[in-house]
Structure 1
Amino acid sequence: MKLDDIIKRIEQLIEMGKKVLATCKKEEDYVDWGQQKGFRSAGLSFLERTFGLDHPYVKEFDTYTDNQYMSSIEAGLGILEAAKNEISGGWLFTVKGLVSAEIFADFLDMATYLLQGNYKDPAAVVIGSVLEEHLRQLCNKNNISVEFSQDGKMLHKKADRMNADLSNANVYNKLDHKNVTAWLDLRNKAAHGRYSEYTKDQVGLMLSGVTDFMTRNSV
């Protein structure tokens, strides 16, 4: 799927949400139950596939659209609008998604391109996403579960936990574990807007380090 297709899909979801709002009668404060459920399911599916399960957009959309109140649908539309602006601005970072995939052969090449253009922050997020997906594949290769049970639900492990599990299983050494921890921390700073806490040079070192790590610990 190309970037234009993703933008088109989110625009369809926004229109869908507006139609749900239109089902609200003047004397009531809630919308049609069936259409609300359809909008919620479609929105969650899109956001999860595009941004990943742990992204704030997913969590907020899940929380705010879990009822029939008009204000909840309005909140869901606000989240989709914010996501659309992020995508349209080129800030779409997910290994399974794409950022102009028709231009970039792979994500590490994309990170190099971003760094060359002095876009250290998106570069850091891209590199971190690639690293997280590689950790997941390493877990699968070594029969290490990438999920855990909590309150009767199966949840996806976060990157830090996969890193610890891989190190404890001696898939790679303690120095690699320490480096991965530092790279994930840098990625998290970038993802949460803490841009002043790292430099372009540090992102460059992260890129070369992650590339070397993935080469030595192939899947």
Structure 2
Amino acid sequence: MVKQLDDLIDQAESLLDSGDMRWAQGTPNEASGEILANRLESAVARLTMQGSVYIQQVQRKKGHTAQSRLRHNLQVAISLRDDLNSGWTESVVELVHADTYSDYLEMADALLAKGYKDAAAVITGTSLEVHVRALCVKNNVTTAVAGKPKKADTMNADLKKAGVYDGLRQKQLTAWMDLRNKAAHGNYGDYDKDEVLQFIDGVQAFMMKYPA
């Protein structure tokens, strides 16, 4: 998110530094400025929540000259970039993750309802592993060793060591990951539909309690 803003901010600052005398109507600067102002506005809308103060700010300059809009939208983008660098991004990332996980767990629920318990278990287990990895990133726990991604069990143990959750929670995740592995390796008789239902509900509750 910051990288996108940095690129656009650099372009806008470079164009504005070209001087006020080159912004007459119909000049290349005016056309480029209009495009960049629009791209900055689009980036702000894309990277913030609906109705945010940033979106409200960029919309205040509708109808102004290209140079004026670009200068204004640049300031809004810089403010957003600085807020993201200060940690504001965490809430946005968590909301995006929550929506994504919700979609996958709803898919697992639908599959389970239709009798596809094994596919439901795999989807739920994969969502859990991705969430555990995201929890590691959020809590500054390494997710790789010697350039190779850590296994889910290892990240689970590391999160417990880091104090993100306790030993009971770690054991619960270990049991869930075991169920996922059974499904992924074709050991379909080692668990039943009710266990998968508890798996889905448990993972959903875990993600809500420990957002990433």
1:17-166 mapped onto 2 (5 Å cutoff): 106-149=103-146, 154-166=147-159
Shift of 1:208: 0.6
1:27-54: CA deviation from partner (whole Å, max 9, x where unpaired):
xxxxxxxxxxxxxxxxxxxxxxxxxxxx
Question: Which residue in the other structure is 1:47 paired with?
Answer: none
CA distance in 1, matches of 2:190, 2:110: 22
Q: Describe the SS at the equivalent of 2:148.
A: strand
Cα distance in structure 1, aligned partners of 2:102 and 2:210: 21
- C-alpha displacement at 1:141, in angstroms? 0.2
Greater Cα radius of gyration, structure 1 or 2 = 2
CA distance in structure 1 between the aligned counterparts of 2:196 and 2:208, rounded to whole angstroms: 18
Amino acid at match of 1:113: A
| Partner secondary structure for residue 171 of structure 1 | coil
Secondary structure of the 1:218 match is coil
TM-score by structure 1 length?
0.50
One-letter amino acid matched to 2:158? D
Question: Could you tell me how far apart the structure 2 residues matched to 1:177 and 1:105 are?
Answer: 22
TM-score of the pair, normalised by structure 2: 0.52
| Higher relative helix content | 2
In structure 2, the partner of 1:29 is none
- Residue number in structure 1 paired with 2:180: 187
Q: Which has the higher contact order (CA 8 A, sep 6+)?
A: 2
One-letter amino acid of the structure 1 residue matched with residue 184 of structure 2: A
Superposed CA deviations along residues 43-98 of structure 1, whole A, max 9, x for unmatched, are xxxxxxxxxxxxxxxxxxxxxxxxxxxxxxxxxxxxxxxxxxxxxxxxxxxxxxxx
Alpha-carbon distance between aligned partners in 2 of 1:164 and 1:198, rounded to the nearest angstrom: 24
Q: Show the counterpart of 1:28.
A: none
Q: Partner residue of 2:165?
A: 172
Unaligned runs of 5+ in 1: 1-103
Aligned residues: 112
User: Does 1:206 pair with 2:188?
Assistant: no
CA shift at 1:138, angstroms? 0.2
1:106, distance to aligned residue in structure 2 (A): 1.3
Percent identity of paired positions between Structure 1 and Structure 2: 51
1:194–1:165 distance in 2 versus 1, CA, 3 Å: same
What residue identity is the alignment partner of 2:130?
Answer: E
